[in-house]
Amino acid sequence: MAGTTYQVIVRGKFAPLDDEQRAALLARADEHDVYQAKFTEEGTVTYERSLLGFTFRCLVPATGEDDEAVVTGRAEALAAAAVAELGAGHRDLTSVSTDLADIKIRHRARG
C-alpha cells in the first residue's frame, strides 16, 4: 500500500537536570536554537537557555496501515533518543502530526 510522510512536532520537558547536565546543555544551546530547527527523518531538538523544555521536529514515513498513534509513537521514540544523546532525560511528551499530503500550497497570483 502507498505510504505518506508525516511532519511531527514533539514537545516535552527535561527530566530533572543535575549541574553537569545543565552545564552541558547550556554549552550547546546555540546549536539547538529554534533557528536551527528542520524537519528531517533524523529530527532536530531545539531548546531555550531556560532548559524548561524542548521541541523535537521530524519527518516520519508511514505506510497506509500506520495510524496517527503509530506515527507519533515513532516520533516520540526518536525524540527520547535525541534528548538522551544530549545527556538528559525527558518527561511529559506531547505530539502533533500533519500528513504532508494534507498540506495545501498556495501559489501567488501572477499579475
Looking at residue 107, what is its pLDDT?
66
pLDDT confidence bin for 1, thresholds 50/70/90: very low
Helices marked H in the chain:
19-27, 68-85
| Distance, CA of 31 to CA of 78 (rounded, Å) | 18
Domains and CATH numbers, the chain: 4-102 (3.30.70)
Write out pLDDT tens, residues 82-100. 999 999 999 999 999 999 8
Looking at residue 2, what is its pLDDT?
60
Write out pLDDT tens, residues 38-55. 999 999 999 999 999 999
> What one-letter code names the amino acid at 65?
E
Q: Specify the pTM.
A: 0.88
Looking at residue 102, what is its pLDDT?
81
Write out pLDDT tens, residues 65-85. 888 899 999 999 999 999 999
pLDDT confidence bin for 103, thresholds 50/70/90: confident
Buried b / exposed e across 63-94, counting CB within 10 Å, b at 16+? eeebeeeebbebbbebbbebbeebebebeebe
- Picking from 105, 104, 99, 97, the residue whose alpha carbon sits closest to that of residue 64 is 99
